[in-house]
Structure 1
Amino acid sequence: FVAEKCRLIIFAESIYWPVFSVATAAAIVASQATITATFSLIQQALALGCFPRVKVVYTSRSHHQIYIPDINWILMILCISVTAGFKNQSQIGNAAGTAVVIVMLVTTFLMILVMILVWRCHWTLVLIFACLTLVVEGTYFSAVLLKVNQGGWVPLVIAVAFFIVMYGWHYGTVIRFDIEMHSKVSMAWILGLGPSLGLVRVPGIGLVYSEIATGVPRIFSHFITNLPAIHSVVVFVCVKYLPVCTVPEEERFLVKRIGPNNFHMFRCVVRYGYKDDHKKDDDFEEKLFDNLFTFVRLESLMEGSPGSDVSSILNQQTIQSRDAMWNNNNNSIPYSSADLSITSVDSIELADSPMYMSQPLTCSIPTSSQLVEIDEIEFLNRCRDAGVVHILGNTVVRARRDSNCFKKMAVDYLYAFLRKICRGNSVLFNVPHESLLSVGQIFYV
């Protein structure tokens, strides 16, 4: 017996280091998988507006790799706290087992919803899948319930903490968005101000960022009632993160005109998916103005065409396809933006009018709509050269005195704290500080 025990000890000592190496490598792989999954979940929650804005670093241009410093620090603190707090292998195992079983149950319930709502499976197939899966997972879950007081409470506490943060941020964001939607200015008020908006129109372009995609935001009226001047061209920029994977580049910018032409007011809705690069590109401003100029050209074409509805909202995909056609037809010919629009109009008139089919083209005389287009593009270029100012709203939401305790805690403390520690809109939109103008206002809910 003694000899057998000695052999077992020698065997255990001989395989200790190989097993230790394999276990260490497995822990490294598991930790990297946890970090990657956490970064991906936080990024998608940011895109859907369910998590406070944190810094996202894109570590690769060719691959979609991200790094979130704040979340990395939180994971490190949690890992050290759990390891140093338990000092027991079995309790750490119970915590990990509870987390895994809960994830399995949540995944199963979500899969059942997908089968019912998305795949439209027959109820018998859904019932069979639910019964077979829940029988196995229910057995594990019943065993995990006995380990909640032995370390299994840790993942539950962490989940509740993240739920409170996400719910508080979402609750405050929805309230602030509803306030901005109900307090937006009507177009009748803007039209009543006249082409000069009742103020001095200074040279330059003002980009007014807002979360609403319709109407005029309240920060604009708040701005012009406190300052005696506004820029010659005003563009309301609305950045939207859609619950889709990605938005094609040709469908990203949607441009329309607000009010008459002499007001020089536009709206640009920029759409991103949750897998798109949320950090604005360095040429974001360049792309915005390119789409704005393209809109002016196409609007002039529609005004010159019989039976066109100028007041309708133009689809950006049509604009981009028109630009692609122009570029393909004029690859070897240098041209300016004005020459491009005139040549395109003439080519359309020749194709639609049979009276020109038998006559050679000798010269092209710009029409009144073409001249208006050229003048407006030159005006936009001059205003752009004069300077571009980014106007951001800083809306502060406060609970009324007669509000209940839950609302005061959620709005005045939790949401206010999260907005204070999260990244501001100027950092999110990559706005240069020298051309930033912040407009503050307080709303009581």
Structure 2
Amino acid sequence: MNSDPENGGCKGGGGDIARQIEVEADIDTAMSFTKTYQTPQREKVYSNWESMVLAYQSLGVVYGDLGTSPVNVFSATSFTNLSEDDLLGTLSLIIWTLTSLVLVKYVFIVLHANDHGEGGTFAIYSYICRHIHFNTKFTIHNTKLQPDSAMAYYTGGGHSPLSTRAKNFLERSSSAQNFLTVIVLLGTCMVIGDGALTPATCVLSALQGIQSRSSKITQDHVVWISVVLLVALFVFQRCGTSKVSFLFSPIMLIWFATNVSIGVYNIFKYDPSILKAVSPHYIVKFFMANGKTAWDLLGAVFLSITGAEAMFTDLGHFNKRAIQLGFSLVVYPSLIVTYAGETAYLVKHPENITDAYYSSLPNPVYWPMFVISTLAAVVASQSMISACFSIVKQSLALGCFPRVNIIHTSSNHQGQVYSPEINTILLILTVALVVGFKGGVELANAYGVVVIWVMMITTFLTSLVMLVIWKTNVVAVLGFLVPYVLMEGAFMTSLLRKIPQGGWVPFAISVLFMTVMMSWTYGRSKKTTYEAENKMSVTELDEALSSIYRTPGVCLFFTDLVHGLPPIIRRYIHHMNSVREIMVVVTIRTLPIKTVSAEERLHVGKLGRNGVYQCLIQFGYKDAEDIDGAKYTDHIAAKLLELTDDNSEKHKIRSSMQKGIEFVTGRTILKANKKSDMLSRFTIDYMYRFLQKNSMPAFSTVRTPSNATLQVGMLYEI
């Protein structure tokens, strides 16, 4: 079950016991769940050999998209009458783009801005939120308690005067917090959009090479072969990444090795001097000679680094050192040699630029390379599909995505997940893109347009980390921010011209997902505000319980409000006119950290004087929230017995446990009040309600006996 991430804390009353569960009070030391959970460790320290093995494995998961880029880049250009200087300038652009934006930025800088080994937009956002207290109502999560800073996976530290001023500004400014939230959601939506574009582009590009060998094979044939292959790929997702992952790394290693061999062959056969393009002065000459044409070419050159963002997103599957080794020792030199070989071939055969990669292949190895490139395209597709599943799981854990089914496909790796709903949506979008664009240049225009925005968001968030968390000198921060904003801004302006020619598609997909996520987050924040303003006080609870009949047994009432008692409990007591002798209000909270250790997972406290307790169960956004209600009841009861020294109270708890357990869940429906504006009414009454009706139940991960479960409903007019 996912908690409402806009809440934080818990409330109680009654002397020392009440202070135990006040919003910012100290909470009891958690009981151990070592029999149920394996205690997660902090980021593991790997030996050199282990890092090398992980670097090899990362080839098949992280670098599929980036590694297959040589198939697309030159064919996406619109050059005619190419000269050798034009080709040298293009190759120099590719080399220095790979070097500056991927090797320097991602490998040596961005990978360090991870959340205990986890990467991606949400991970870096959570990393920031551990150091900045977000108090705006519209935010991804606001569940921070004072004791959280002492937890194993929270980190802290001192601040320089500048970082302190920046931190204070962000904590005081709700507009800045809302801006951060929106760009994180936007970056996430764009990555999901890229997850639909990547399979379409990679598979089509790989299969189009067959047309150069047979005039009987039309573009329609290529399109429908691609559709069949893509449908099979998405259907196979339910088997889990682990079932096919053992094939990925060998395929990509063969892909890189053969490309290097062919690249070296082409360099020596066609133009050994092509390597002089490593000098950046050819870029200057190229722009001076071609002007706007060279500027337009930046959009095609950018395709050489699409997939670079997966290095950060997929970090949690491996480790920082493995990603760095894999790219620096294998991927980077392989790509440089492959592009150099293609360029050397084009110097002698510029007329073949529209099919540069396949045309540059020697005849004896054409068909083997066609098979290898098709398999590599499937690997590239798989990496982005898996990344989408992981991103959606993190979004669910932080409460900013409608609840969908998340299935863990591996008992050894928490990050390997599968979502049937997301898989179906990606399949529909991918097939629609393939059939709609039919593999034309419009698809290449669509591909990569949103990636540059994700990179710019990453640049901004990393700069914020450098300033607020790493306490980096402001000159160094500007030395990172300004050059990369200028470089990425140049690519962005070039890619903008592609919007009317197909580039609008990824933005449309992003807007679709952004609308869903914003509507859901807005509705959840409104629900939280209503519950906080209408929550039931402990004094009111004591008065209500003193005049009703107490049925023997235990009641576990699940609620997603962390601060206090939600109004639905008032409704339950009023209409039932009886409550079990022992009532435990259970809140499941997702923290903005990777994982919560077993010792810190569960806390209990007493509410009032009439056998009512509060239980807080905590998870990190990478933890599997699969809760067996019966087993957790035993753990909660054991913790309650530890809480009290009163023998009569202990006897009452034990006796009630033997007389039956009742599980109560709440279901709330939101309705906009008459004072709400038109946009708010539409968002609450239509968008949020539609998403709520078609999403998984709020407590779907809590497994309880159906004959002992009761659902209570309530209408919130907000």
TM-score tier (shorter) = 0.7 to 0.9
Separation (CA, whole Å) in 2 of partners of 1:152 and 1:265: 58
Specify the alignment match of 2:622 in structure 1: 275
Residue from 506, 510, 517 that aligns with 1:159: 510
CA deviations on 1:351-407 (whole Å, 9 max, x unpaired) are xxxxxxxxxxxxxxxxxxxxx42x433332222222111111111110123421101
CA deviations on 1:148-173 (whole Å, 9 max, x unpaired) are 11111111111111111000000000
Does 2:704 match 1:438? no
AA of the residue aligned to 1:36 = S
Specify the alignment match of 2:369 in structure 1: 19
Residue from 233, 240, 247 that aligns with 2:589: 240
CA change 1:406–1:75 in 2 (3 A) is same
Separation (CA, whole Å) in 2 of partners of 1:10 and 1:411: 57
AA of the residue aligned to 2:692 = R
Residue from 153, 162, 175 that aligns with 2:526: 175
Query: Which SS does the other structure have where 1:425 is aligned?
Result: coil
CA change 1:236–1:9 in 2 (3 A) is closer
AA of the residue aligned to 2:606 = R
CA change 1:23–1:275 in 2 (3 A) is same
Does 2:60 match 1:60? no
Separation (CA, whole Å) in 1 of partners of 2:577 and 2:519: 38
- Residue 240 of structure 1 contacts residue 269 of structure 1 at CA under 8 Å; is this kept in 2? yes
Separation (CA, whole Å) in 2 of partners of 1:115 and 1:431: 46
AA of the residue aligned to 1:299 = T
Specify the alignment match of 2:639 in structure 1: 294
Considering fraction of residues, name the structure with more strand. 1
Does 2:497 match 1:146? yes
Q: CA deviation at 1:12?
A: 6.5
Specify the alignment match of 1:396 in structure 2: 669
Does 2:434 match 1:112? no
Q: How does 1:29-428 map to 2 (within 5 A)?
A: 29-64=379-414, 65-193=416-544, 197-260=546-609, 263-280=610-627, 282=628, 284-300=629-645, 372-373=646-647, 375-428=648-701
AA of the residue aligned to 2:607 = I
- Residue 644 of structure 2 contacts residue 650 of structure 2 at CA under 8 Å; is this kept in 1? no
Query: Which SS does the other structure have where 1:391 is aligned?
Result: strand
- Residue 555 of structure 2 contacts residue 583 of structure 2 at CA under 8 Å; is this kept in 1? yes
Separation (CA, whole Å) in 1 of partners of 2:384 and 2:601: 32
- Residue 255 of structure 1 contacts residue 292 of structure 1 at CA under 8 Å; is this kept in 2? no
CA change 1:9–1:35 in 2 (3 A) is closer
Separation (CA, whole Å) in 1 of partners of 2:624 and 2:617: 13
- Residue 293 of structure 1 contacts residue 377 of structure 1 at CA under 8 Å; is this kept in 2? no
AA of the residue aligned to 1:289 = D
- Residue 582 of structure 2 contacts residue 656 of structure 2 at CA under 8 Å; is this kept in 1? yes
AA of the residue aligned to 2:589 = K
Separation (CA, whole Å) in 1 of partners of 2:499 and 2:439: 15
CA deviations on 1:157-192 (whole Å, 9 max, x unpaired) are 111111110000000001111111111111222222
TM-score computed with the length of structure 2 as normaliser:
0.48
Separation (CA, whole Å) in 2 of partners of 1:435 and 1:97: 52
Query: Which SS does the other structure have where 2:448 is aligned?
Result: helix
Specify the alignment match of 1:350 in structure 2: none
- Residue 244 of structure 1 contacts residue 274 of structure 1 at CA under 8 Å; is this kept in 2? yes
Separation (CA, whole Å) in 1 of partners of 2:553 and 2:707: 14
Separation (CA, whole Å) in 1 of partners of 2:623 and 2:367: 45
CA deviations on 1:128-156 (whole Å, 9 max, x unpaired) are 11233233322221221111111111111
AA of the residue aligned to 2:672 = A
Q: CA deviation at 1:298?
A: 4.5
- Residue 398 of structure 1 contacts residue 412 of structure 1 at CA under 8 Å; is this kept in 2? yes
Separation (CA, whole Å) in 2 of partners of 1:246 and 1:42: 17
Specify the alignment match of 1:313 in structure 2: none
AA of the residue aligned to 2:641 = V
Separation (CA, whole Å) in 2 of partners of 1:148 and 1:214: 46
Specify the alignment match of 1:329 in structure 2: none
Separation (CA, whole Å) in 2 of partners of 1:9 and 1:78: 31
CA change 1:136–1:377 in 2 (3 A) is same
Specify the alignment match of 1:324 in structure 2: none
Separation (CA, whole Å) in 2 of partners of 1:249 and 1:389: 26
- Residue 253 of structure 1 contacts residue 288 of structure 1 at CA under 8 Å; is this kept in 2? no
Query: Which SS does the other structure have where 1:427 is aligned?
Result: coil
- Percent identity (aligned): 33
Query: Which SS does the other structure have where 2:411 is aligned?
Result: coil
- Residue 115 of structure 1 contacts residue 121 of structure 1 at CA under 8 Å; is this kept in 2? yes
Separation (CA, whole Å) in 2 of partners of 1:427 and 1:298: 29
Q: CA deviation at 1:218?
A: 1.5
Query: Which SS does the other structure have where 2:584 is aligned?
Result: strand
Query: Which SS does the other structure have where 2:700 is aligned?
Result: helix
Separation (CA, whole Å) in 2 of partners of 1:13 and 1:274: 51
Q: CA deviation at 1:221?
A: 1.5
AA of the residue aligned to 1:409 = F
- Residue 168 of structure 1 contacts residue 410 of structure 1 at CA under 8 Å; is this kept in 2? yes
Separation (CA, whole Å) in 2 of partners of 1:180 and 1:275: 27
Count of residue pairs brought into register by the alignment:
362
Query: Which SS does the other structure have where 1:184 is aligned?
Result: coil
Separation (CA, whole Å) in 2 of partners of 1:376 and 1:11: 81
Query: Which SS does the other structure have where 1:164 is aligned?
Result: helix
Q: CA deviation at 1:279?
A: 2.4
AA of the residue aligned to 2:638 = F
Query: Which SS does the other structure have where 2:402 is aligned?
Result: coil
Which structure 2 segments of 5+ residues have no match? Answer: 1-347, 350-357
Which structure 1 segments of 5+ residues have no match? Answer: 301-371
AA of the residue aligned to 2:499 = V
AA of the residue aligned to 1:269 = L
CA change 1:71–1:244 in 2 (3 A) is same
Q: CA deviation at 1:424?
A: 0.7
CA change 1:11–1:44 in 2 (3 A) is closer
Separation (CA, whole Å) in 1 of partners of 2:632 and 2:456: 45
By relative contact order (CA 8 Å, sep 6+), the higher-ranking structure is 2
Separation (CA, whole Å) in 2 of partners of 1:10 and 1:100: 28
Specify the alignment match of 1:303 in structure 2: none
Separation (CA, whole Å) in 2 of partners of 1:210 and 1:296: 22
Q: CA deviation at 1:431?
A: 2.9
- Residue 243 of structure 1 contacts residue 274 of structure 1 at CA under 8 Å; is this kept in 2? yes
Separation (CA, whole Å) in 2 of partners of 1:31 and 1:175: 38
- Residue 209 of structure 1 contacts residue 238 of structure 1 at CA under 8 Å; is this kept in 2? yes
Query: Which SS does the other structure have where 1:26 is aligned?
Result: helix
